Structure 1
Amino acid sequence: MAYSHVPHLVIRNTTFWFRMAVPKDIFRRTGFLEFKGSLRTRDPAVAKLLARRLSGDFEQLIARLRHMEELSHEKLQALVRGYFQGLIDKGKETIACMRDDAMADFEQETALTQRDLDALRKELTSRQFRQVIKGAAMDILAGAGVEPKAVSPSGFADLYEGVLRAEIESLRIQVARLEGRPWNTSPGDPLFQGLSVENYPPLPLLPGQEPPEAIPAPQGKTLSEVQREFVALKSKGEWEEDTRKDYERVLRWLLEVIGPDCPVDKVATSHVKEFRDMLLKIPANYSKMAHLKGMSLKELVALPPGEKTLSLKTVDKYFGMQRTFFHWCVAEDYLQKVPGEKLTLPAPPPASEARYPYSPEQLNKIFSSPVYTGSKSLGRRSTPGSLIVRDGRYWIPLVALFTGARLGEIVQLLVSDIKERDGCVFFDLNQYGGEKKNFKTESSKREVPIHPGLVDLGFMGYVGALRQKAPKGPLFPDINEGTGKDFSDAFSKWYGRYVREIDAWAEKTAFHSYRHNFKNALDKGGVQVSLSYALMGHADSSVHAAYGSKPSIKQLAEAMSMVKFEVDLSHLFSESHQSTTDT
């Protein structure tokens, strides 16, 4: 608990602690949600002195971090490219030394280099970077005069990956040169496109050794060369970072199946079919399972049956990415037609069957659970008690029920997104005010009137209290952002655990089920289709929709008043005026 109004000073048992929340813009750079630690004193006077001193120190640190220019993704890439060029130069020195050494064993050197290359590729797949890679990254920063504080946690992850990719690509080129394949010494990794690796000294022949049989170079561009062009072009503003990583992963798998040196115009339907069949065998959550880390695609699909495989939705996404790549190849005249264009995937279940709405029994169980009737403590929300905290965990499921909004749309709301026009209060689901806001489609951006039932539950009182404190802040400030691009990651995991703990979970139901409940309520209320589409954020592709203007906020509010739910919330109406509210 806080102690004597001294900022950031709390007491646990009889010992004083310092706790200071890290602003969101600083969290992105440090990876810390808060600065905290024991002051190791029970003396209030000493604790106050230490807390004030630490507060000042951390405020100065935050100010310095805000004024410190963050190393951009482009600058990081430039540093990694420079590191790669240095590795190439070292490779040239190795070849030169071997040329002058009559005892050099080229076969052994090739085998050892290939072994190291395979090990590094596994490390890249697992993303469990060894200390030597991290040390090389720190050396790169030091050599460039860059302070580590100028690099965000995600920047360090990209830097480690870049160092590893440089090591891998330099060894791949070294193997190609040792094996007498000079046409494969151009960088195949899009990160190092355009860098020169020419002027390798020629390999000597040992006494009595015959020149190796010439291997004809492939005609036209190889698959890896075209893939590199595609990624480089699309990365120039068209893709978000997560999209780029997804495409690079899928195309890396594609090259593993077909072969990076295969001429792109020789890719056949059989190749794409093999790739599709492999996608269908990849274990679900393979990147999160320790015993699967470091495995190549072929190793993953060779595992004994039994592991749950990727969902058809994910497979469809990955398969669509390779198809997009080959469509681009056709547009660029690298191909005459898309290979495997008529190949299909097993049909996924209809969208209506993917998730069910919550049953009335489930809804009553959720909204009469400890979060709404009293829990043991903030850390034990599923255990019955006397504490009712009207925070994000309290309001978000109710907002989902009364709006049909997606979880990601709800948790990224700002206080300023609650607006009023023509006497109607509404949620303005928009892109403004938050650089990390994300919407599934353009039609997802919409205005949703606040349901009268939500108003009766005291929601506007909650909003009003937040407007007093932080009018431009998040609507649910207690909900931490997820680790990925999706705001909802952290809440989604908590909610999934919570519904199981209160025994409200059932097969094919999830948080998204609230959206199905809302859709059903619109239908049962007799809301006309155009208004239903507008409230749900669905695109109306009918000819009729192309004429006239979109529904007014008053029309939407009238439609919202027709929406009823099969759940008893009467106990929450009485709670809405009690003093247990905490904003």
Structure 2
Amino acid sequence: MSRYEVLMTDLWLVKRKDSPNFFYRRTVPSDVIAILRSHGQKPKEAVWKSTGTSDRKQARLVMHRLNLEQDDQWEAVRRSAREELQGKTPTKTDINRACRKFFDERRMAYEAKFTEAVVAEDRDALPLQLTSIQYGSLKLKDAATKGIMLEPIMNKMDRIIEDEGWTLPKLLANGQYTEGYWAFYRAMVDAIRDAADLEMRSARGEAAPAPTSEVIRASFVTPSKAMGGEDTTLAALAQKFEEAERRSAFKKGYTIDQQSQAIRLFVQHCSPDVLVESITKRQMAAFVEVLLQLPVKFSSRSDCQDISLAAAVAIGINRKLPNRSPKTVYREISGVSSFFKWLVQRQYVEHNLTSGLFPRIDKGRGQRPPFSDEQLNIILASPLFKGSESVLKPHQAGDVLIRDWRFWIPLCSMFTGARATELAQLLVSDIHQNGDRWAFHMEECDDEDTTKTLKNTASRRVVPVHKTLEAAGFLKYVSERREAKDLRLFPGLKPVKGILGAKPSRAWRDYLTRIDVKHGADGMGLHSFRHTITDQLRLAGFYDDQIAVVLGHSKDLMTTRYGKMAEGTFQQRCEIIDSVAFTGVDFSTILPRAGH
């Protein structure tokens, strides 16, 4: 069995809270739903059947049988619908449906020619392709005006009539074409000319050109508006996807927020009312180009509000604003790609249009560098740790000692290597004793008032409190929070877009800039402490798999999937943390002075 088949198996086998057994779940194809609805039925969007077993291997065997049976049932529905059409005189809706299918085929053919020229970097071929398409469209119009039918189109029509089983006479007794056949031909010509028109408009930069012919416009009408079917507009399915993602337990809220924001940009670019099956690869490529040309932080600029993405690009060009990074665009296309994978799985579309369109990025860039001893000394001698002018001006020297999250989160990060969000979401109860030693307990929690999330399973860990952190008064600070009956260890922090670690990360980058440690986009931030302690532990002689235990790095080993106990003893973790010496770094500014 291939990896793809295994993934599809896992997709169709699901667990439900009300049963220990696996269930077979499969989305009903859209054409089957349409047929059943046309017969007055109200079909469900998905089929659910119990496999009768909680063993995955056995469930897979049952799943294969159910899969074959389900395919047979759906094929029987389709066969019955085809039999009903035998000998049927085609309605206007039937003609529109056939023309729409032909329209899609022609657009794909046009797009394939352009793609071939682009891949071959034959830019001169693009204008020639446009000229060829335009000439063919004019030739069709001229022939139809003169009452001449072109043989290639007639051959296509004859195949459609035969495949659909229609009764549509071609010739009258006098050898002239019937009015019904002529009507079908004119509709086919409109479809071809519309496909050519849309391709030319798209090639000239129009984001989401709409069809102009009546026959194709009629086929673009949303099924929910036309016959009570499912709404397959881009906006409707984007909303449906977001709702499904938020019900899932596999993605964090802020990840879904970023993903949804990228999809909203795509909806804005293409138009909310466009049907997903009509979106082309060319439109997706144009979207990527627009994202790359948008100015930095365009969404927060007052002059870019309530305007199209193309207009925002024009503003950026006119004012010579810097463009957003390919890394940002890469993340956004990843969000849109997740949406299209979902569409493919549920048979709304055939292909993931983002494939091959991700911008190239240098994955080596943007990595967080560690702090040097010189930089750490500058940080520890700066006003935040030595004395500030005021609570509102922590970067300016004075006599005010700030001892809130701004002081403690950087120090905790320095001596634990913990992530900003892990520290920001800590509860007072997460700092408690293991024997005679205090420790941080990094754990998840989904209570309404104390929600905490971790990046992965390995992030659930116990990290001893470093002796220098104790000497700086950290345990005294914890005791004060406990006496104040605070729930959170850093009660002054509020989430930004649902992320508690966002504010300290941003504030620390700003502070480093103000004290001249950070320069532009050099990567320096709270995460640099994570790299710094890694180097310290390597200097102490520890291997990366030992360091991973205290940093919460996941390790791709089969052994890590077994058992429930945490790796390594608490005493071993103490030895690892205590080895962090920071030789050459002066901590006198954070340690109590003699007599105090």
For normalisation by structure 1, the TM-score amounts to: 0.57
SS at match of 1:276: helix
Q: Which residue number in structure 2 is paired with residue 486 of structure 1?
A: 499
Contact 2:260 2:335 in 1 (8 A): no
Q: Residues 496 and 510 of structure 1 are in contact (CA less than 8 Å); yes or no, is this contact kept in structure 2?
A: yes
SS in 2 for 1:310: coil
Residue 315 of structure 1 corresponds to which residue in structure 2?
A: 329
- The letter of the residue matching 2:332 is Y
**What CA deviation, in whole Å up to 9, does each residue of 1:149-179 have, x standing for no partner?**
xxxxxxxxxxxxxxxxxxxxxxxxxxx9x99
Which residue does the alignment assign to 1:289?
Answer: 301
**C-alpha deviation, 1:427, in angstroms:** 0.7
Per-residue CA deviations over 1:346-393 (Å, capped at 9, x if unaligned) read 123327x52211222111011011222222333333232233243322
Distance in 2 (CA, whole Å) between partners of 1:235 and 1:489 is 21
Q: Say which of 551, 557, 565 aligns to 1:542.
A: 557
Counterpart-to-counterpart distance in 2, 1:482 and 1:444: 20
CA distance in 1, matches of 2:484, 2:360: 52
Q: Distance in 1 between matches of 2:283 and 2:455?
A: 32
Q: Which residue matches 1:568?
A: 585
- CA separation of 1:457 and 1:298: change in aligned 2, threshold 3 A: same
Equivalent residues in 2 for 1:154-193, closer than 5 Å: none
Separation of aligned partners in 2, 1:547 and 1:436: 27
CA displacement, residues 164-221 of structure 1 (integer Å, 9 cap, x when unaligned): xxxxxxxxxxxx9x9996777769xxxxxx8x8999xxxxxxxxxxxxxxxxxx9995
1:381 aligns with 2:398: no
> Within 2, Cα distance between the matches of 1:565 and 1:265?
59
Deviation, 1:323, is 1.1
Q: How far did 1:344 drift? A: 3.0
Counterpart of 1:555 in structure 2 is 572
Deviations 1:301-348 (A, max 9, x none): 334443233333332221011111111122112233323423332123
CA spacing shift, 1:571–1:529, aligned 2, 3 Å: same
SS in 2 for 1:559: helix
Specify the SS of the correspondent of 2:568.
coil
Using a 3 Å threshold, how does the CA distance of structure 1 residues 295 and 578 change in structure 2: closer, same or farther? farther
The one-letter amino acid paired with 1:486 is I
Which of residues 318, 326, 339 is equivalent to 1:325?
Answer: 339
Q: What is the CA distance between 1:543 and its match in structure 2?
A: 4.2
Does 1:342 pair with 2:356? Answer: yes
Q: Structure 1 residue aligned with 2:292, among 280, 283, 300?
A: 280
> Deviations 1:210-240 (Å, cap 9, x if unpaired)?
xxxxxxxx99955455445434443445677
* 2:172 aligned residue: none
Is 1:501 aligned with 2:505? Answer: no
Residue number among 234, 244, 257 corresponding to 2:245 in the alignment: 234
User: Which whole-Å CA distance do the structure 2 matches of 1:336 and 1:181 have between them?
Assistant: 22
Pick aligned residue for 1:463 from 478, 481, 488: 478
CA shift, 1:257, in A, is 4.1
Residues in 1 aligned to 2:482 and 2:239: alpha-carbon distance in whole angstroms: 50
Distance 1:295 1:534, change over 3 A: farther
Match of 1:103? Answer: none
Alpha carbons of 1:332 and 1:396: their partners in 2 closer, same or farther (altered >3 Å)?
same
CA distance in 1, matches of 2:298, 2:238: 24
Q: Residues 521 and 286 (structure 1 numbering): CA distance in 2 closer, same or farther, change over 3 Å?
A: same
Output the CA distance in 2 between the equivalents of 1:574 and 1:551. 31
**Aligned partner of 2:432: which letter?**
K
The SS at the match of 2:440 is: strand
2:498 partner amino acid: K
Rounded Cα–Cα distance in structure 1 between residues aligned with 2:392 and 2:482? 26
- Tell me which of 384, 397, 406 is aligned to 2:410: 397
Alpha-carbon distance, 1:534 to partner: 1.9
- Shift of the 460–269 alpha-carbon distance from structure 1 to 2, 3 Å rule, reads same
Q: Within 2, Cα distance between the matches of 1:496 and 1:344? A: 29
Residue 540 (structure 2) aligned to one of 512, 525, 528: 525
Of 247-256 and 460-469, more deviation after overlay is shown by: 247-256
RMSD, matched Cα: 3.6
Q: Percent identity?
A: 26
Any stretches of 5+ residues in structure 1 without a counterpart?
A: 1-175, 188-193, 200-217
Q: 1:445 to 1:290 in 2, by over 3 A?
A: farther
Name the amino acid aligned to 2:503. A
- Equivalences for residues 191-206 of structure 1 within 5 A: none
- Bigger CA radius of gyration: 2
Write the distance in 1 (CA, Å) between the matches of 2:561 and 2:451.
31
Instruction: Work out the CA distance in 2 between the residues paired with 1:408 and 1:527.
Output: 26
- Mapped to 2, the partners of 1:229 and 1:374 lie a distance apart of 53
How far 1:540 moved relative to its partner? 0.4
Contact 1:375/1:387, CA 8 A, preserved across alignment: yes
- 1:243-262 alignment runs, 5 A limit: 245-258=257-270
What SS does the corresponding residue of 2:588 show, helix, strand or coil? helix
The Cα of 1:517 is off from its aligned counterpart by 0.7
What letter matches 1:253 in structure 2?
L
- Decide whether aligned partners of structure 1 residues 220 and 539 sit closer, same or farther in structure 2, where only a CA change above 3 A counts: same
What letter is aligned with 1:292? C
> Deviation per CA, 1:522-550, whole angstroms, max 9, x where unpaired?
22122232221121111101345456752
SS of 1:396's equivalent in the other structure is helix
Question: Which of residues 448, 455, 460 in structure 2 aligns to 1:440?
Answer: 455
Q: Distance in 2 between matches of 1:183 and 1:576?
A: 80
In 1, the alpha carbon distance for the partners of 2:248 and 2:558 equals 34
Alignment of 1:366 with 2:379, yes or no, is: yes
The 1:235/1:501 distance shift into structure 2, 3 A limit, reads: closer
Equivalent residue of 1:274, what SS?
helix
Q: Distance in 2 between matches of 1:372 and 1:233?
A: 46
Using a 3 Å threshold, how does the CA distance of structure 1 residues 527 and 547 change in structure 2: closer, same or farther? Answer: farther
Deviation of 1:498 (Å):
2.6
User: Aligned to 1:419, what secondary structure does the other structure show?
Assistant: strand
Q: Give the Å deviation of 1:256.
A: 4.3
The CA distance in 1 between the partners of 2:400 and 2:234, in whole Å, is 61
Pair 415,269 (structure 1): closer, same or farther in 2 beyond 3 Å: same
**Residue pairs, 1:59-74, within 5 angstroms:** none
Of the three residues 473, 476, 483, the one matched with 2:487 is 473
Q: What is the CA-CA distance between 1:404 and the residue it aligns to?
A: 0.9
Counterpart AA for 1:281:
Q
**Alpha-carbon contact 1:371-1:389 (below 8 Å) kept:** yes
1:408 aligned partner? 421
Residues 432 and 439 in structure 2, CA contact (< 8 A), matched pair in contact too: yes
State how far apart, in whole Å, the 1-side matches of 2:474 and 2:588 are: 15
Give the structure-2-normalised TM-score.
Answer: 0.56
Partner of 1:151: none
Tell me the amino acid that sits aligned with residue 565 of structure 1.
Answer: F
Distance 1:366 1:440, change over 3 A: same
CA-to-aligned-CA distance 1:284-316 (integer Å, 9 cap, x gap): 211212222222222223344432333333322
1:278–1:473 distance in 2 versus 1, CA, 3 Å? same
- In the alignment of these two chains, the number of paired residues is 375
- Whole-Å separation in 2 of the counterparts to 1:576 and 1:473: 31
Task: Call closer, same or farther: CA 1:260–1:388 in 2, change over 3 Å.
Answer: closer
Code of the residue aligned with 2:439 in structure 1: it is F
Distance 1:578 1:537, change over 3 A: farther
The change in CA–CA distance for 1:490 and 1:517 in structure 2 (over 3 A counts) is same
